[in-house]
Amino acid sequence: MSTHIRTRSHRAEFALAIVVLLIFAVGHFGYQNATENLAEGLAISPDAESTALYCTGFTGGGGATPAVVTFVDSSNEGHDVTATLVSSTGASRVVTLHVPAHGVSQLTPSEFPGNGYYSVSALVHGGGVSASSSFTRAATSVIPCVGQGDVTWYSSGLSTHVGADAYLTMFNPTAGDDVVSITALSPTGFSAPSGLQGLVLAAHTTTTIDLGASVVNQTDIMATVRAQRGSVVVSALQMNASSKTSASATGGVISPSRFAVFPSTTTVDGLRSVLAIANPTNAPAVVSVSVVIRPYATQRLSITVNALSVGDLVVSPSSGVPAAGAAVLRVTSTMPIVTTLVTQLDNKKNQWLIAPALPGSYQAIVDPTGQGFSSASLVNTGDQSASVVLTAHNFTGSHSVTLIVPAHDSRVLNSDTVSAWKAGAVTVTTDHPLYVSAAVAGPYLEGAVENGLGVR
């Protein structure tokens, strides 16, 4: 007699278990790695229906800081731009201009009549147009125009010591009232001047704040602007009281960060480059700076900035950094900090406030003075080498240069390459985001630096 032993099939349990585990695994890890399946919002998309650009912080032809606003069209078709010039005195004017395809068009100081500080609100009928504003008198400062207002804004390196003035110019790009508050961090600590809290900025108006009236006789000031309601476009203006022509401006940053890159930092004799560092956090920040100047080996610089405090790190002149032209600074910090590169002549008559560069795959650099550039730097902080195409527009003849920037490396284009780029713009197209900046040619030994503008 045979005995049959019935064994139960576990196929169902195993199959269910495997499917459930698979779903769990894919669901769990897929969730971790899932990327936002949305367009991030291209800054200036070439096929946009309309875009807006905002610049602020300059005066008209008779003022202390006259500027030109340069529009660059990187797309294949020209666009009309309706620019509204808004003065802090309440005056406004609408100017219409056309930016040709792959060309530039400018608003000159003569179109900013009257007193006060100006802002430009430019509505571009389409996309692919970017802009920057550049001071035309004495030292050149270049501030990129932005596509939207921000709710927070920071800049370090400002000074209200005797003989200097610092101004914050704010423009409200929205159709409603803004409410903003301004605070400051200086060597004496944090301050929130009562007169600068809850400021109401009417829609599409420009307001200028004299920081020195509230933060008296301080150096290394970090100013913070927070919009409690709406958004705001801000630029900081630093002037020597003794000479209204000696002014510099910066577009600042929208948030503190642990990493910053300054692609073009002068180290030549006669100029002084200092990193103004502000630590707005409640823990000390250990800041380390690597200075790269080919073919020299340099020592790493470092500084510890206490919580809610500011500090200076002198890059040049420095015993460890050779005076050999443009250097690349990479700043890393243990805490989020606000960094501004302050470059000044030894006599301190002229100075430049330079914000960190931002990475991008499509950028432009504009020659604001018509004198061309003295150098240009490309920094690749990624893990893959980047292929770069530089195309010059609106020059006599067209130039196109292709080069490779290795991973974790940089390329500095010397004057032989870039000196021919005058009175126009250069678009930088890469397959991986790069930091781009160029030193504006002029009498002050590469003190003025222009960071790349995002064009798409």
Q: How far is the CB of 42 from other proteins (least distance, A)?
A: 5
Query: Closest CB to other proteins among 125 and 244?
Result: 125
Say if residues 233 and 56 touch (Cβ distance below 8 Å).
yes
Q: How far is the CB of 32 from other proteins (least distance, A)?
A: 10
- Would you count residue 24 as binding other proteins (CB under 8 A)? yes
The contact mask relative to other proteins for 146-165 (x = CB under 8 A, - = no) is -xxx-x--------------
Q: How far is the CB of 173 from other proteins (least distance, A)?
A: 7
Candidates 171, 167, 194; CA nearest to 183 is 194
Q: How far is the CB of 90 from other proteins (least distance, A)?
A: 19
| Residue among 90, 100, 176, 370 that touches other proteins (CB under 8 A) | 176
- Would you count residue 1 as binding other proteins (CB under 8 A)? no
CA distance 121 to 308: 35
440: exposed, middle or buried (Cβ count in 10 Å: 0-12, 13-18, 19+): buried
Q: How far is the CB of 259 from other proteins (least distance, A)?
A: 21
Question: What residues numbered 71-130 form the site for other proteins, per CB under 8 A?
Answer: 121, 123-124, 127
Q: Which residues pair with 347 in a beta bridge?
A: none
SS3 148: coil
Say if residues 163 and 262 touch (Cβ distance below 8 Å).
no
DSSP state string for 394-415: SSSS--EEEEEE-TTEEEEE-H
| Residue among 1, 4, 5, 41 that touches other proteins (CB under 8 A) | 41
Among 6-14, 263-271, 347-355, 426-434, the segment contacting other proteins (CB under 8 A) = 6-14
Say if residues 222 and 182 touch (Cβ distance below 8 Å).
no
DSSP state string for 412-449: EE-HHHHTT--SSEEEEEEEEEEEEEEEEPSTTTT--E
CA distance 5 to 17: 26
Candidates 290, 262, 432; CA nearest to 356 is 262
How far is residue 400 from each of residues 140, 403, 435, measured CA to CA in Å?
26, 10, 19
- Using CA of residue 165, residue 166, residue 172, residue 173, what is the dihedral sign? positive
CA distance 354 to 246: 15
- Would you count residue 30 as binding other proteins (CB under 8 A)? yes
Q: How far is the CB of 281 from other proteins (least distance, A)?
A: 24
- Would you count residue 8 as binding other proteins (CB under 8 A)? yes
Determine the distance from the C-alpha atom of residue 291 to the mean position of all C-alpha atoms in its chain, rounded to a whole number: 20
Helix (H) or strand (E) holding 25: helix 11-33
Q: How far is the CB of 258 from other proteins (least distance, A)?
A: 21
- Would you count residue 4 as binding other proteins (CB under 8 A)? no
SS3 21: helix
Question: What residues numbered 224-253 form the site for other proteins, per CB under 8 A?
Answer: 229-231
Query: Closest CB to other proteins among 43 and 209?
Result: 43
Q: How far is the CB of 41 from other proteins (least distance, A)?
A: 4
| Residue among 7, 49, 76, 297 that touches other proteins (CB under 8 A) | 49
SS3 266: strand
Q: Which residues pair with 115 in a beta bridge?
A: none
- Would you count residue 307 as binding other proteins (CB under 8 A)? no
Q: How far is the CB of 84 from other proteins (least distance, A)?
A: 9
| Residue among 1, 11, 162, 383 that touches other proteins (CB under 8 A) | 11
Query: Closest CB to other proteins among 74 and 333?
Result: 74
Among 142-150, 352-360, 408-416, 430-438, the segment contacting other proteins (CB under 8 A) = 142-150
Say if residues 260 and 252 touch (Cβ distance below 8 Å).
no
- Would you count residue 16 as binding other proteins (CB under 8 A)? yes
The contact mask relative to other proteins for 51-80 (x = CB under 8 A, - = no) is xx----------------------------
Say if residues 133 and 117 touch (Cβ distance below 8 Å).
no
Query: Closest CB to other proteins among 199 and 326?
Result: 199
Total of chain residues touching other proteins, rule CB under 8 A = 51
Question: What residues numbered 196-215 form the site for other proteins, per CB under 8 A?
Answer: 203-204
Query: Closest CB to other proteins among 98 and 348?
Result: 98
The DSSP call for residue 355 is P
- Would you count residue 144 as binding other proteins (CB under 8 A)? no
**What backbone torsions phi and psi does residue 197 show, to the nearest 5 degrees?**
-105, 140
374: left (phi over 0), alpha (psi -120 to 50) or beta: alpha
Q: Which residues contribute to the site for other proteins (CB under 8 A)?
A: 8-9, 11-13, 15-16, 19-20, 23-24, 26-28, 30-31, 34-45, 47-52, 121, 123-124, 127, 147-149, 151, 173-176, 203-204, 229-231
